[in-house]
Amino acid sequence: MKNCPKCGQELAPNALFCPNCGQKLTDESAEAMEKKTVQLENEGVGKRQDDRFQNNQLSVKTPNPIVEKFIIFIKKYRIPLVIAAVALIAIIGFFNYVNSRPVDISGNVKVTFDGYDSQGVANYNSDKIYSEISEKAYEKAGFKEKDAEGILNGDGTIIDKLQKVSGYASRLGKAASLIQNVQIKMNKTESLKNGDKVVLTIKDNNEDKDKFIKDSKKEFTVKGLKGIESFTAEDLLKDVKYSFSGYDGFGKLTVTDNPYSNETESIFTNQYNDSNYSNGDKVTLEIEPNLIASESHEGRVFEGDTFIETEVKNLKSINDIEKKEDILKQIDTYAKAQNKSNDYRTYQVERVESYLRVTDEYNYWGNSNDAEINCEIQSIYKITDTETTGDKKEAEVYYEIYGYSIVPVKGNAFQAKDLSGGSSYSWGQEKSVEDCVNTLKADHPDFEKI
Q: Which residue has the higher pLDDT, 66 or 99?
A: 66
Residue 210 has pLDDT above 80, yes or no: yes
DSSP collapsed to 3 states, 16-41: CECCCCCCECCHHHHHHHHHHHHHHH
Confidence label for 40 from pLDDT (cuts 50, 70 and 90): very low
Confidence label for 425 from pLDDT (cuts 50, 70 and 90): low
In 396-432, which positions are buried (b, 16+ CB within 10 angstroms) versus exposed (e)? eebbbbbbbbbbbbeeeebbbebbeeebbeeeeebee
DSSP state at residue 108: G
pLDDT at 443: 87
Residue 383 has pLDDT above 80, yes or no: yes
Tell me the average pLDDT across 147-151. 91
- Helical (H) or strand (E) element with 406: strand 392-410
Mind giving me the DSSP string for 34-74? Answer: HHHHHHHHHHHHHHHHHHHHHHHHHHHH---HHHHHHHHHH
Torsion, CA 58, CA 64, CA 68, CA 69, rounded to 10: 140
pLDDT at 8: 78
pLDDT at 325: 94
Task: List pLDDT tens digits, range 431-445.
Answer: 999 999 999 999 899
Residue 42 has pLDDT above 90, yes or no: no
Residue 250 has pLDDT above 90, yes or no: no
pLDDT at 365: 46
- Helical (H) or strand (E) element with 173: helix 168-180
Cα(30)–Cα(26) distance, integer angstroms: 6
pLDDT at 447: 92
Most confident of 2-16, 98-112, 322-336: 322-336
pLDDT at 72: 76
pLDDT at 60: 45
The answer to whether 419 and 375 are in contact (CB under 8 A) is: no
SS3 131: helix
Cα(354)–Cα(328) distance, integer angstroms: 8
Confidence label for 264 from pLDDT (cuts 50, 70 and 90): confident
Phi/psi of residue 199, nearest 5 degrees = -110, 125
The answer to whether 177 and 134 are in contact (CB under 8 A) is: no
pLDDT at 122: 96
Q: What is the CA radius of gyration of the chain?
A: 62
Tell me the average pLDDT across 78-105. 70
Q: What does the chain come to in residues? A: 450
Residue 125 has pLDDT above 60, yes or no: yes
Half-sphere exposure for 360 (CA within 13 Å, toward CB): 7
SS3 182: strand
Sign of CA dihedral 320, 325, 330, 332: positive
Using a pLDDT cut of 70, give the percent of the chain over it. Answer: 83
Phi/psi of residue 243, nearest 5 degrees = -160, 175
SS3 140: helix
Mean pLDDT lowest for which of 104-108, 133-137, 181-185, 228-232? 228-232
Cα(249)–Cα(330) distance, integer angstroms: 26
Residue 2 has pLDDT above 60, yes or no: yes
pLDDT at 369: 58
Amino acid, res. 34: E
* E strands, 176-277, in order: 182-186, 197-204, 216-221, 229-231, 241-245, 252-257
Tell me the average pLDDT across 124-137. 94
Residue 105 has pLDDT above 90, yes or no: yes
142: left (phi over 0), alpha (psi -120 to 50) or beta: left
- Helical (H) or strand (E) element with 134: helix 126-140
Residue 47 has pLDDT above 60, yes or no: no
The answer to whether 290 and 267 are in contact (CB under 8 A) is: no
Using a pLDDT cut of 90, give the percent of the chain over it. Answer: 47
pLDDT at 366: 46
Tell me the average pLDDT across 77-89. 74
Pairing label, strands 345-359, 373-389: antiparallel
pLDDT at 266: 85
pLDDT at 274: 66
The answer to whether 382 and 350 are in contact (CB under 8 A) is: yes
Phi/psi of residue 345, nearest 5 degrees = -135, 145
pLDDT at 397: 95
Residue 46 has pLDDT above 50, yes or no: no
Domain range summary for the chain, segments of one domain joined by +: 2-61, 106-221, 236-311, 318-449
Residue 114 has pLDDT above 90, yes or no: yes
pLDDT at 218: 94
